[in-house]
Amino acid sequence: MITRRKITSVLFFIAVVFFMSCESNKNQMNIIFLHRSTGLNVYLGNTNPYVHKLFNKSDFASYFKKLNKQNNTNHNFEEQSFPGTTEYGYKNYPYDYYNIWVKNGGDQPYKGAPTLEMLTKKYDVVIFKHCYSVSNIVKGNGQADVNSEEKTIENYKLQFEALKNKMHEFPDTKFIVWTPAVRHESSLSLEEAQNTKRFYEWMLNEWNEEGDNIYLWDFYKYETEGGLFLKDEFSSENGDSHPNKAFSAKMTPIFADFVYKVTNSK
């Protein structure tokens, strides 16, 4: 026989579960990190890539889990190579983000790559970066073209302005943009390095706006420490432009702290 006490207990249990579910949803944010190899290195830290593939482990995931636990949050972090499709190719320079998100934006993927319309429906925070080859910036002819793949400061500026306007169309989504990853001196000319520095300074001082929904993570500053190139001691063996494990592991908690802070900012 069902008594009034049993009914009251069941209702109380349902109310508690409902309240806990609401609190959990309130403390949950979905985050996506779009990257290539340098971004993956920072995400892995000291974690072996094969361990990551087999067990989905990484230094970033472990550290971010601790941040969730310490702050009673349930933020979900995902990462993926971008564009990451053979149909589009594996370039992710300013032109490519502009091409996929602005020029060919919409509710359907462009050559297999997700658009901002798609990403912002699923994620509260979108993080993106460029391959270190973004720093091979050549001298332009003085005529900027937003639809050009040529790596010039003038083209980059037009593409970044278009991207900023596009991101502003999604005010409820936060965006984190990495400043340019830079190459080692063995694969970057002095002129290219100086051009990268000028574009980087433009990003910081002119493109960046206070109070909007876009946040810059200054990876260039960490890689160069005031210079023009990826420092020797941060480089992989034989002047490879990928950051080595020691440097990547150092960056992992710094990056995670920044992401967590932005995610929880008002």
pLDDT at 19: 43
> Could you tell me the mean pLDDT of each successive run of 10 residues in the chain, 266 residues long?
57 45 64 96 91 87 96 96 91 98 97 97 98 95 94 98 98 98 97 98 97 98 98 91 96 98 94
Residues 53 and 51: their CA atoms lie apart, in Å, by: 5
pLDDT at 147: 98
67: how many CB neighbours lie within 10 A of its CB? 19
Element (H, E) at 70: helix 59-71
Show the CA angle centred on residue 129, arms to residues 170 and 258, nearest 5°. Answer: 75
Give Cα separations from 40 to 37, 53, 82, 193, 266 (angstroms): 5, 12, 11, 23, 28
Structural domains in the chain plus CATH codes = 37-263 (3.40.50)
Upper half-sphere CA count for residue 155 (Cβ side, 13 Å): 21
| pTM, rounded to two decimals | 0.89
